[in-house]
Amino acid sequence: MRKRFKLPLTVIAFAALLMSSCDKLLPDERESVAKNSSFTQDVYTPTLGRATLYNTFNVGNSTQPLTFKIINPRTYSGEAAPELTDVFPVKVWKEAYTGDETSFEEIEKKRGTEMHHLFEIREHSGQFVMWPEAKSSFVHAQPDSGYIFDVEMSNSGGRRYFRNMRLKPYREIPVEPTTQSPVTGQTTYVGTGPTSWSNIFGERSGQLIYNIGVVFHKISDEGHSLSFQFYDTLQNPINPKKFNLTDWAHLVHGFDMQMTDTAVTYQVAYPIPLTNLETKYTTTDGLKAHVAFSYDRMGFGDRRVVADLQLNFAIYEPGQWQIKFLFLDDNPNFDDE
């Protein structure tokens, strides 16, 4: 038969007191700023006139949350840079863009204006942001050497500095695709070409057409429209209605479509695309708008031929824009054989 022993209550109370005292002797857990926290690059080259986000911070073993600040921004020659230290009004999203908005006004209601530094670091993520309101008219752009800045990273355990980081913006490129140099701002050729095309046969030659130009033309800085136009070899307009299979109602995220014998015009919100979100109006990565023009005709042997002309593009500056498709060597044949 086993005997059961009972500890006196005084012993139990003493043990509990002892354990409580030991807990109080343990040091508080302290936040740390680790040496292996780092930015994966120290030179940043955003293109002015468009929103750019850099997610280049590696937290390492530092305790979060961390706080980041850009300090002492200056030109490469060491002069003050008020264009980086002052705050400016910038357009921001107050509500998420979905791609399903049904009017220009609905889109604009989702955007508002806030005051920000044109180049800033997000307080707790360490992400760098260049706002599209930064322009080469007052921000140093390449080939200028740009700016130098430091970053302070801190938490309650201490702070660390990342010194002599570089900001070397490129000049604005209003549209893509383009042949414009981001350093000089000069273009090597007035236009560019479509992304793809197929089954477009020449009216004169009867052969596939290979030489098609694309030109972006800004009519005015005022307004918010986008027009599509097509021109033959003599610079005569081609009626867009001849592209009879085109889904004009859903070609772009635009509104109040107006079709004439020379152009199709939409009221749009800029930039195009508005965000990097993939929608039915964009490429799969959301970085470019995607348009497709199509028509059909009866070819030889009563074979139905479907022709297709596609362009992936972006426009970063607001205004009244035209996109012109130029058939340079031969005109497309829209008639049945």
Q: What is the mean pLDDT of residues 53-65?
A: 96
**38 vs 159: CA distance, rounded Å:** 13
Q: How far apart are the first and last CA of the chain?
A: 111
Q: What is the mean pLDDT of residues 235-262?
A: 98
Is the distance from CB of 134 to CB of 169 less than 8 angstroms? yes
**Can the peptide bond before residue 65 be classed as cis, meaning omega within 30 degrees of 0?**
yes
Cα separations in angstroms, 255 against 57, 135, 248, 264: 40, 29, 11, 11
Residues in the chain: 337
DSSP-assigned states of every residue in 179-201: -B-TTT--BSSS-B--SEEES-B
d(CA 273, CA 169): 22
Percentage of the chain modeled with pLDDT above 90: 85
Rounded CA gap, 268 and 316, in Å?
12
Q: What is the pLDDT at residue 18?
A: 46
Domain edges within the chain: 40-167, 175-327
* Distance separating alpha carbons of residues 29 and 22, to the nearest angstrom: 15
Instruction: Note the pLDDT tens digit of each residue in 265-281.
Output: 999 999 999 999 999 99
Q: What are the structure tokens assigned to 86, written together?
A: 């002052």
Which of 233, 214, 198 is closest to 315 using CA atoms?
214
Residue 10 pLDDT: 52
